[in-house]
Amino acid sequence: MFESLQKTWQETMEIPAARWIVWITVLIVAVLVAVYFVKMFRDMAMGNDSTSKAELLSEFERIRNEGKLDNEEFKRLKTSIRDQIDSENLKDEG
């Protein structure tokens, strides 16, 4: 089987345009992979990771209960997170 694939590959590469097609395809795939990784790292850097708003709110509540966050700051964060949730829900509905 491997020999037949190798023979087919060699016969295909004898066609002059085939080499260009292969290299252009490799280039397109490389660019798409690069774009995917740049987008993934950019989203991670901007904080768009998989942590949900509810998990984030729970974490801030835990920090407040430990005494590391005062009630005023917690209320401000809670309001901000709830506003974000509301605006996301409006986007989804619209």
Q: How would you write the pLDDT of the chain (94 residues) with one tens digit per residue?
A: 789 999 998 998 899 898 899 999 999 999 999 999 998 888 777 665 446 777 888 888 898 898 888 888 888 888 888 887 777 666 666 5
Residues 79 and 41 in one domain: no
DSSP state, residue 30: H
Half-sphere exposure of 8 (CA within 13 A, CB side): 5
| pLDDT for position 29 | 96
Residues 13 and 43 in one domain: yes
Residue 1 lies in domain? 1-48
| pLDDT for position 32 | 96
Residues 56 and 39 in one domain: no
| pLDDT for position 28 | 97
Number of domain units in the chain: 2
Residues 34 and 74 in one domain: no
DSSP state, residue 66: T
Instruction: Kindly tell me the sign of the dihedral angle through the C-alpha atoms of 47, 48, 51, 55.
Output: positive
Tell me the pTM.
Answer: 0.44
